[in-house]
């Protein structure tokens, strides 16, 4: 076998008393695609930050393409490593070719001359990937899947031999995932190696040759993907067996709807929507990116205004001017993107959880608030030594739970969750589903907006399918299977 293009040995890292990585080792050979798996907070992103030189290790060494790396990100890039983060770090107001050539372009030179060189490099790189993109398109106008391709192209244009992707495919559809798999296969053949972090089991098995599993900062399993199946992977990650079946439940009690929608329409987003959300019931709204699912849910929360139709709460028509009105009516909305939602990253976990509690519960003492925060941390199993550290010290999946905790604190009558488990590991997904089901059975109406069919099936009583702004199907979750739903959300048979 060829020499590894990347090797990490004996990596250790602690933040104060919190030991994040202990004696972690990992190798990657040219043309290998390795999955780095592990629960939220197991140390994946930290390992990647050490790899790219963003964060120094306490001990251990990193060798990339034969060069040992110091704590300097530029050195890592020079040594042919490229990390693609979840937001892809592209420049939205530059074109495809400018983005691809960005790292490679040297300052100076005539503008037109540089533009030509950029285009040539971009064209050649996309050809290597066998991808066809409009070089002059502004990146902000591209769909997510194409942005991701631009990010990969930029890494390749910079002669990356190792490409690291930290949760790259949050918003891709199955066909886009398949295309990414083809591109990865083509680049593997050229000897490019990938390190891939994902909480989506399907993708891990579609892309990866080998798997390294981290649990509490230690490598607990390592080997070829063929030695794993979803059950073993879940088990290695969590140390226990993970159930992926539909949650056991009592049938929802028939109740009058809390919120009803009739013939709701908003130009360009959705039309003709009828919807009933009842206390004690979990309803999923599934649809692809661009189906109108997010616009519809924002309209129920007062953040967008419908042009036509009615919304009633307990039979009374309502018209929300903004989110505050909706909150006053007992509605909570957990948005898709925790980072734009306004977590206060540099504030304590406790304050982030209880920020809204004050107004909804009258006066509570500081210590009472703290106790509430501690209870929430425990209930949602947020991985932290206490409620004092800032949210910035939490891993991605644990930040997501803080957002959930904050909204649950308000004891809403209707809880709308957009992508509640994006970035959450498979074991914890199950826990969050159980929490939401319990919330619903305690009398809250729950609506989950998702493109994760498995999630909709595991969690809901009813599944509504949204295609191109219309609700095109409604199913009893007991009586439908994943393939059927997949055909429905991709508009199969309807053209
Ligand atoms: N700056 C910091 N200060 C204190 N603790 C930190 C800091 N950065 C990370 N940690 C801790 O290190 C641990 C590992 O975090 P990391 O982000 O590497 O997890 P992860 O495996 O990427 O999780 P996820 O799947 O949620 O993204 C977590 O328990 C986190 O709280
Ligand atoms: Mg992470």
Ligand in closest contact with the CA of 383:
1
Q: Whose CA is nearest to atom 8 of ligand 1?
A: 393
Q: Alpha-carbon distance 349 to 288, whole Å?
A: 33
Please, how many CA atoms are within 13 Å of residue 437, restricted to the half-sphere of its CB? 21
Spatial contact of 339 and 354, defined as CB atoms under 8 Å apart: no
* pLDDT single digits (tens) 401-458: 898 898 888 889 999 998 888 778 877 888 888 889 988 988 999 999 988 888 898 8
Q: Write down the CATH number for the domain with range 259-489.
A: 3.40.50.300
Which conformational region is residue 314 in: left (phi greater than 0), alpha (psi within -120 to 50 degrees), or beta? left
Q: Is the CB of 421 under 6 A from ligand 1?
A: no
What is the greatest pairwise CA distance in the chain? 71
Closest ligand 1 atom, CA of 214? 21
Q: Alpha-carbon distance 24 to 3, whole Å?
A: 19
Beta strands in 56-209 (DSSP E): 59-64, 67-68, 81-84, 162-166, 193-197
Which conformational region is residue 200 in: left (phi greater than 0), alpha (psi within -120 to 50 degrees), or beta? beta
This prediction has a pTM of: 0.77
* pLDDT single digits (tens) 248-303: 777 777 789 999 999 999 999 999 999 999 999 999 999 887 889 989 999 999 99
Q: Is the CB of 473 under 6 A from ligand 1?
A: no
* pLDDT single digits (tens) 118-161: 899 999 999 888 888 999 999 888 877 788 889 888 888 888 89
Residue 384 CA to ligand 2 centre (angstroms): 15
Residue 264 CA to ligand 2 centre (angstroms): 39
Q: Alpha-carbon distance 488 to 473, whole Å?
A: 8
Closest ligand 1 atom, CA of 395? 17
Q: Is the CB of 396 under 6 A from ligand 1?
A: yes
**For a pocket test of ligand 1, which of 14, 40, 45 has the largest count of ligand atoms closer than 8 A to its C-beta?**
45
Domain boundaries of the chain, sorted by first residue: 6-238, 259-489
Spatial contact of 245 and 69, defined as CB atoms under 8 Å apart: no
Q: Is the CB of 399 under 6 A from ligand 1?
A: no
Residue with tokens 């009933």: 276
Q: Which residues sit opposite 467 in a β-bridge?
A: 470
Ligand in closest contact with the CA of 396:
1
Parallel, antiparallel or unpaired: strands 470-476 and 67-68: unpaired
Ligand in closest contact with the CA of 199:
1
Q: Is the CB of 395 under 6 A from ligand 1?
A: yes
Handedness of CA 298, 303, 308, 313 (dihedral sign): positive
Does domain 6-238 sit in CATH 3.20.20.150?
Answer: no
Would you say residue 306 has pLDDT above 70?
A: yes
* pLDDT single digits (tens) 379-409: 888 999 999 999 999 987 888 889 889 888 8
Would you say residue 211 has pLDDT above 80?
A: yes
Would you say residue 495 has pLDDT above 50?
A: no
Residue 398 CA to ligand 2 centre (angstroms): 9
Ligand in closest contact with the CA of 424:
1
Q: Is the CB of 397 under 6 A from ligand 1?
A: yes
Q: What is the pLDDT of residue 494?
A: 43
Would you say residue 79 has pLDDT above 50?
A: yes
Spatial contact of 258 and 416, defined as CB atoms under 8 Å apart: no
What is the 3 state secondary structure string of 325-364? Answer: HHHHCCEEEECCCCCCCCCCCCCEHHHHHHCCHHHHHCCC
Q: What is the pLDDT of residue 106?
A: 56
170, burial (CB in 10 Å: exposed 0-12, middle 13-18, buried 19+)? middle
Q: Whose CA is nearest to atom 13 of ligand 1?
A: 41
Which conformational region is residue 4 in: left (phi greater than 0), alpha (psi within -120 to 50 degrees), or beta? beta
Element (H, E) at 294: helix 293-300
Q: Is the CB of 390 under 6 A from ligand 1?
A: no
Distance between start and end Cα atoms, the chain: 49
Q: Is the CB of 15 under 6 A from ligand 1?
A: yes
Q: Whose CA is nearest to atom 9 of ligand 1?
A: 393
* pLDDT single digits (tens) 338-379: 655 668 888 999 999 988 765 555 667 888 889 999 999 998
Domains 6-238 and 259-489 share a fold: yes
Mean pLDDT of the chain: 86
């Amino acid at each position: 076998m060829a020499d590894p293009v990347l090797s990490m040995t004996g990596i250790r890292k602690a933040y104060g008393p919190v030991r994040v990585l202990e004696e972690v080792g990992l190798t990657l050979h040219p043309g290998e695609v390795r999955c780095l798996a592990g629960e939220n907070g197991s140390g994946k992103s930290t390992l990647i930050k050490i790899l790219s030189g963003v964060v120094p290790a306490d001990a251990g060494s990193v060798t990339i393409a034969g060069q040992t790396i110091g704590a300097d990100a530029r050195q890592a890039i020079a040594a042919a490593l490229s990390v693609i983060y979840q937001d892809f770090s592209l420049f939205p107001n530059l074109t495809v070719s400018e983005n691809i050539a960005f790292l490679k372009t040297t300052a100076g030179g005539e503008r037109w001359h540089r533009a030509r060189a950029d285009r040539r490099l971009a064209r050649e790189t996309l050809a290597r990937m066998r991808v066809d993109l409009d070089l002059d398109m502004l990146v902000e106008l591209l769909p997510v899947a194409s942005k991701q391709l631009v990010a990969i192209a930029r890494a390749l244009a910079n002669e990356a031999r190792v490409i690291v992707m930290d949760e790259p495919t949050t918003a891709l559809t199955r066909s886009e995932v398949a295309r990414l798999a083809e591109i990865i296969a083509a680049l593997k053949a050229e000897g490019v190696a990938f390190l891939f972090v994902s909480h989506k089991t399907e993708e891990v098995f579609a892309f990866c040759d080998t798997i390294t599993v981290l649990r509490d900062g230690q490598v607990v399993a390592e080997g070829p993907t063929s030695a794993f199946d979803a059950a073993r992977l879940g088990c290695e990650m969590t140390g226990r067996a993970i159930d992926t079946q539909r949650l056991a439940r009592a049938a929802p009690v028939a109740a009058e709807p809390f919120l009803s929608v009739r013939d709701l329409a908003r130009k360009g987003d959705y039309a003709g929507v009828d919807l009933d959300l009842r206390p004690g019931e979990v309803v999923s709204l599934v649809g692809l990116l661009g189906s109108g699912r997010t616009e519809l849910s924002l309209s129920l929360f007062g953040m967008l205004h419908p042009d036509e139709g009615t919304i009633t709460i307990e039979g009374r028509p309502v018209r929300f001017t903004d989110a505050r009105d909706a909150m006053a009516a007992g509605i909570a909305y957990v948005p898709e993107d925790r980072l734009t939602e306004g977590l206060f990253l540099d504030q304590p976990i406790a304050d982030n959880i209880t920020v809204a509690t004050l107004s909804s519960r009258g006066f509570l003492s500081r210590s009472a608030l703290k106790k509430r925060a501690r209870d929430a941390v425990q209930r949602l199993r947020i991985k932290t030594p206490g409620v004092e550290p800032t949210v910035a010290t939490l891993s991605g999946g644990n930040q997501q739970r803080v957002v959930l905790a904050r909204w649950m604190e308000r004891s809403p009558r209707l809880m709308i969750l957009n992508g509640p488990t994006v970035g959450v590991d498979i074991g914890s997904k199950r826990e969050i589903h159980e929490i939401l089901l319990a919330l619903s059975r305690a009398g809250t109406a729950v609506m989950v907006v998702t493109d994760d069919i498995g999630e909709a099936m595991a969690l809901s009583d009813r599944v509504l399918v949204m295609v191109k702004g219309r609700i095109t199907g409604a199913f009893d979750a007991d009586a439908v299977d994943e393939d059927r739903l997949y055909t429905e959300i991709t508009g199969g048979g309807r053209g």
